[in-house]
Structure 1
């Protein structure tokens, strides 16, 4: 195993064990070089991996500070399934399917993301995502029955993207997304353990295949105190 991986794993373990706590500064790069008998480039690779996984944040003039891991980073630009992201972030997660039925797409709910949406037949899935035993997301999916005739309860509780790609061999290409902040509904309050007057972060996405067929409409309702959304932008 590469040396930077060993250093990354050791630092991550120390953060998880509370040796380095939230808002603590890690030793400086030169201090880490001495501690691990490693080059500055090796240390920077280890720190970069910790930043990518949401363990630390670089602060100019200070160094690397340990951040609150209760706020999980969800990328905005990527087309990635919840299970893929949870696996990548090493998050302990559980999915509960609370609704599974055939209905019509509620076009008014997605008009701002896809003005051309039609009331097509869809499978509606409502799933609650738990992280470390705490409910933090309600995912409401509408999947075209013309593209995906049916979704079993077992698939819905595991990974529908794995089913789409590995069993149905669909080529998922891109998605359009919209992010808003809205008052928590009665359902949000019940399922996400919120109070009257709380808000949720709502991410609506419309996903298409390589042939441009739109086949999935998703509304994800997030507890705002548990998630932050991250993107990468470059000045043109």
Structure 2
């Protein structure tokens, strides 16, 4: 399977421009040769909301952002993973969604968003508040996928994957992933792992995205602090029948 890790440069104050940037990057990656089967983008919550209070983030804003990625997945016939905001009965949440080539949300993992700081998330070990398990595991035509919504500065407080069988691929659309975390996670589960990073406007942003193999070695990485992409081919076994796709172990 061919994977493209896409690292955009986004603004905290220009939501419409952010969406245009993301659309251009998806188009560029989808048209590359060889074509990717999966495009992984970072947590793009800053593209859903401006620097205004969370109460100003409307359901329409969240839906419009998600629908754009559904359209791009369908237009280019590619799987797309991305982090974004969504409004629920419990308030604003940040989620990670894997869209299939038909534009449908195939997997969605969520974690409550309790602050307007795009580099933090609800961390039960530091806030004392309950949080969703950020992992969802599902079989898919591109293998057994573990999708995570976790945007804390480090992965140290992230709950481990509780599964009887390791996934074929771990996907984490983050803001600022770190190399050691992806190496540890991929090696611990003997699986490929993809972290996508997002560069925010301002000096000194060191975001970077990675792909690691089953031994924890980095096999592809984006350019630190710059809008860029990285490409890797990984060996995963697809789940070829609907019965396999539905034999899911969902953790949410």
Question: TM-score range with shorter-chain normalisation?
Answer: under 0.3
Which structure has more RCO (C-alpha within 8 Å, separation ≥ 6)?
A: 2
Bigger Rg, structure 1 or 2:
1
